[in-house]
Structure 1
C-alpha cells in the first residue's frame, strides 16, 4: 500500500497528475539515467574515444534492457546511489561493449543530467498548463471587464472595482511566471559531465569537447564549469514553482472568501457530490481552491529545502544533494495538481453578479465617499470637502440611511456638485471604477505575447 499522498490510489490525483507522475516515476528516472549513459557513449564514439560498434551496442542495450528493479533497489541501498548498480546491469546487457559504459563519468554526472532531462519535460508541462490557464483567465477577465464589485482592503470595503480587473491582476502574475520560466531555461537545462571532482581529468585534454558532444546528443546546454556543488539552477526551478503556486494560492484564497455564504459572490463549478458534506446536505465546499492553497503551502516548504540544499561542502556534498531527491519531484507534482485544479475551477467559475452588486450597496454609498469628496474639492477645497463628506459619512454610519440622501441635504455639497442628481450619480459605485476596464484591456491585450516566446527544445525538435 502507498504511504504518501503522491502514490495513494485515494489521493494521488489531488496532489499530482498522471502526466507529471510519469515524468518523475521510477521507470522514467531510470530511463533518463540510461538515456544519459547512451548519449555519453555516442559522444565518445564521435570523438574516437570508444569504438563506434561499442557505442551502438551500449545504445541498443540502453533501449532494450529489462531492469531488475529488486536487484537495483538492493544494491542502491548498499552503495547509496543507483548509478553503479545500474551500470552493472547495463554493462552486462551490452556484452563486450560493456567495458566502455560510463567511461570517465561519475555518478553525479549521470544523475544531474537525468534530472535536467526530467526538468525539461516537467517545465514543458508547466508552461503548457500556464498558457492554457492564461487563456481561461483572459476570457474571464474580458467577460467581466465591467462587472462592478466591492474592492476590499484589510478585509473592509474600500473602493469599487470590477471582477474583470481582479482577474486581470491574477492574470498579470501568470504572464510574468511564463516570462520567468522562459528566461530560466538556459540556466536550468544544462547537462553535467565533469568527472569525479569536476575537472574532467579522467578523459584528458579533449574533455570539454567530449562534454559538448554529450550535451549536444541530449539537446542540453553545455555548462561553463561543473555544477556538482553549484545548485542554483535546480533551486531556481523549484523557486519558480513556489512563485507559480503562490499566485494560485492567492487566487484560491480570493475565490474561497468570495464564495463564503456571507459574500456569496462566486461559486466553484458544480459537479454532483463535489465538495459535499457527510452531515450537511446544503454544503458546496470550494475543494479545488482548498487543494490549490495546500499545494502553495507545501511547495513553499520545498523551496526552503532547495535553498538550504544549495549549501554544499567542497567539491562533492555530504548530504544536501539528497534533499533534491525529495523536493524536486514533489514540487512538480504539487504544482501540476494546482494548475489542473485552477484550470477546472476558473473555467467553470460561477460569478454571481447580482450578489456583487448587492454587496456594493451594503454601505449605502459609503464605498464611494471618495468620489463625492474629489468631485466637491474644486469648489470647496480638498480639506473642507473631506471634512464635509466625513461628517456626512459619520451621520450615515451612526444613524443609517443612504449617503446620497444625507449629502442632498447639505446645500454647499449640492451646489458644489451641480444638483441632487449629480450627487446620486457620484454615489453610484458603478460610476467610480477608475481605469479598471482599461487595465483589463492592457493585460489581456499583451497576454498573448508570452506564447510566442522560447520553447523547450530537445534533440529531434520541439517538445
Structure 2
C-alpha cells in the first residue's frame, strides 16, 4: 500500500511496468545475493574445499526466505549491508554459517548481482524495443503511399508520405536495438576476484593452486549463464560498463524525445493524433482540449533519462585505483531509475503507436494548400515542352506565386495560384490539373518503405518472432 506521508517515486507509481519495478526490488537483489553465495559454496566444494551437501542444501532452502527486519537490525548495528545479510542468512541456515561468503568480498555479491540484473533489464528493454519497432513498421506499411507535406525547418517542403515519415522514427529505434544487443552480448561477469582483484584469498583457500582459482571463476560465472568474466579487475567490475549501458538507454531516450516532439508538432497541425479515451479530459479549464499528453510524457521522461548518463560517466571517470565507495549511492539511484525510465518510454510507444489516429482529410487539405507552389517546376517544364520561353514562363510563375502567397497570408481560403496561371495565356497549352496529382511529388517514398521493411525490419522480426507489438495500457 502507498504511504501518503512520504515521497513516492513516480517511475514506480505512475510510469514503469510492474515487471521492471520488481526486477530492481530488494527481494530480487538480496535473493540473488543468496544464490551467489550458494553458487560460490557449491563450486568451492566441487573443487575440493570441505563444504558439505547438507550445508549447501540448508542455504538453498532459505534463498527466498529473507527476514528483512532482521537484516535491517543487523545493518543498524554493523553499518554494513553485506555483512548484515551474511548474518541474516547464517541465522536462517545455521548449518552453513561458517562457510557463507567464504573467501569473498562484498563486491562478489553486490557487483555480480548488478551485472545479472543489468542483463535481465537489458533483455526486457530489447524485447519492448522489438515490439515498438514492429508497431511502427505496421503503421508505415499501412500509410506508405499517403502523400503529406514534408517539412524542413518546420516549413512546408516537398511532399513525403505518412508511412515514409514513420520509417524515420522506426530507423532510430533500430539503431537503439543494435546498441542494446551489443551491450547484452558484451556483458561480462565480475566473478570471484577478492578484495583488490588479485584473488589472493581464493589462492590461499586452494593452497596456491592457480588452476582451481581460475576454474572457480568460470564455474560461478557459468552458474548464472555468463560465458565470459573480466580477466582483470580491481575490487569492482569496471564502472565503464555502467556508462556504456546507460549510453545505450540514453540513445533510446533521444529517439523517444524526437518521436514525441514530432507527434506534438503534427498534433498541432491536426494531421496525427495520439489515442484519446472516451472519458479522457484534456484540460481542467478548456473542456474542448485534446492535448498530446502521452507525447509530452515521452519527452519529459526522455529528458530525465538523458540526464542520468552524466552521473554514470562521472562515476566511471573518478574511480580511484582498485576501489572507492563514492560510486555506491549514485549507482543505487541511476541504474534502477534509468531502466525504469526506459521501460516507461517503451510502454508509451506500445500504447501510442498502435492507436495513432491519422486525419487524411486534414492532411490532404494541407497538401492542397501548398501543392501549387511545389508543382511550379513541373508546370514550367510542361510550358517549355509546349513551346514557351523558359525565362518568360519562369518570371510569370514567380509573379503569380508571390501574389498567391500574399493572398494566403492575408487570409484567403485557398491557394489560387493555379487559377492565376489558368488565366494567363502563356500557360494555355499546359494541362495544369495533370500537374497537381500529389503522387507525382512523393518520389520513391512507397518503394523506400517497402525496401526498409524488407531489409531492416524483417530480419528483426525473424530474430524475435514472438515479440510482435501489442498495445499496452499506461497510467493516465
Q: Does 1:277 align with 2:276?
A: no
**For residues 217 and 432 of structure 1, do their structure 2 counterparts lie closer, same or farther at Cα, with a shift above 3 Å needed?**
same
Aligned positions of 1:108-257 closer than 5 A: 108-204=107-203, 205=210, 206-220=212-226, 221-226=228-233, 228=236, 230-257=238-265
Q: CA deviation at 1:197?
A: 0.4
Q: CA deviation at 1:92?
A: 2.7
Q: Indicate if the aligned counterparts of 1:58 and 1:101 stay in contact, CA closer than 8 A.
A: no
Look up the SS of the partner of 2:369 in the other structure: coil
Q: Indicate if the aligned counterparts of 2:134 and 2:461 stay in contact, CA closer than 8 A.
A: no
Out of 303, 318, 325, which is 2:309 matched to? 303
Q: TM-score, structure 1 length as denominator?
A: 0.87
Q: Indicate if the aligned counterparts of 1:110 and 1:192 stay in contact, CA closer than 8 A.
A: no
Higher mean alpha-carbon deviation, 49-58 vs 214-223, is at: 49-58
The gaps in structure 1 that reach 5 residues or longer are 456-463
For residues 146-191 of structure 1, give each alpha carbon's deviation from its aligned partner in whole angstroms, at most 9, with x where no partner exists.
Answer: 1111111111111111110111111112222222222221322534
Looking at structure 2, the residues matched to 17 and 143 of structure 1 have their Cα atoms a distance apart, in angstroms, of: 29
Q: CA deviation at 1:229?
A: 5.7
For residues 306-347 of structure 1, give each alpha carbon's deviation from its aligned partner in whole angstroms, at most 9, with x where no partner exists.
Answer: 111112111102413432111111111111111111111111
Look up the SS of the partner of 1:271 in the other structure: coil
Q: Does 1:333 align with 2:343?
A: no
Q: Indicate if the aligned counterparts of 2:133 and 2:174 stay in contact, CA closer than 8 A.
A: yes
Looking at structure 2, the residues matched to 341 and 17 of structure 1 have their Cα atoms a distance apart, in angstroms, of: 11
Looking at structure 2, the residues matched to 24 and 383 of structure 1 have their Cα atoms a distance apart, in angstroms, of: 70
The residue number in structure 1 matching 2:206 is none
Q: Indicate if the aligned counterparts of 1:372 and 1:427 stay in contact, CA closer than 8 A.
A: no
Aligned positions of 1:355-394 closer than 5 A: 355-363=362-370, 365-369=372-376, 372=379, 389-394=397-402
Q: Indicate if the aligned counterparts of 1:142 and 1:164 stay in contact, CA closer than 8 A.
A: yes
Q: CA deviation at 1:109?
A: 2.1
Look up the SS of the partner of 2:172 in the other structure: helix
The residue number in structure 1 matching 2:435 is 426
Q: Indicate if the aligned counterparts of 2:74 and 2:87 stay in contact, CA closer than 8 A.
A: no
Q: CA deviation at 1:59?
A: 3.7
Q: Indicate if the aligned counterparts of 2:133 and 2:457 stay in contact, CA closer than 8 A.
A: yes
Q: TM-score, structure 2 length as denominator?
A: 0.84
Q: Does 1:287 align with 2:293?
A: yes
The gaps in structure 2 that reach 5 residues or longer are 204-209, 409-414, 466-476
Q: How many residues are matched?
A: 444
Looking at structure 2, the residues matched to 377 and 33 of structure 1 have their Cα atoms a distance apart, in angstroms, of: 80
Looking at structure 2, the residues matched to 32 and 249 of structure 1 have their Cα atoms a distance apart, in angstroms, of: 34
Q: Does 1:447 align with 2:461?
A: no
**For residues 371 and 433 of structure 1, do their structure 2 counterparts lie closer, same or farther at Cα, with a shift above 3 Å needed?**
farther
Looking at structure 2, the residues matched to 371 and 201 of structure 1 have their Cα atoms a distance apart, in angstroms, of: 79
